[in-house]
Amino acid sequence: MIEDTLDHVKEEAWEDAGDMDITKLAIPCTGQAGLQAQVSSHFGHCDSYAIVTIEEGKVKTLEPISNGEHSDCSEPVRTLVANNVSLMLVGGMGMRPYLVFKNLGIDVRCGITGTVADAVESYLKGHTIPMTEDAMCKCHETE
């Protein structure tokens, strides 16, 4: 089911993007998502996600998405996929959600700190670190 959703999302993104360079990224936040919100250190336990659309190297939109209660760690992943996210910027993440993102072809970058604006700036400057299974304990030591 998640794979079908991702295929549909990728097709729509491809059709909408045309020749433009568009990235839709998500950042877990403490409190209400916004440019000045603090990045949450825990992907699944954050209060909200900032869904940021980057077009041609510039922030075009920011949409806050609430992280409601969930029974398993794939639920927030499905929510983000349904919102066409293609990149995650996180402080840290456990193995299960990481593997779901990886299997769906969504890039995860770790070690993100500060505000959402700081995280976006780091991404735009190329200063983010791709998450790998080996890097997980360095990004998030409690899981």
CATH assignment at residue 75 = 3.30.420.130
Structural domain harbouring 133: 2-139
3-state secondary structure the chain: CHHHHHHHHHHHHHHHHCCCCEEEEEEEEECCCCCCCEECCCCCCCCEEEEEEEECCEEEEEEEEECCCCCCCHHHHHHHHHCCCCEEECCCCCHHHHHHHHHCCCEEEECCCCEHHHHHHHHHCCCCEECCCCCHHHHCCCC
pLDDT tens per residue across span 57-115: 999 999 999 997 766 677 888 889 999 999 999 998 888 889 899 999 999 999 899 99
What total number of domains does the chain contain?
1
pLDDT tens figures, 8-56: 333 343 334 444 588 999 999 999 999 999 999 888 889 999 999 999 9
pLDDT for 71: 66
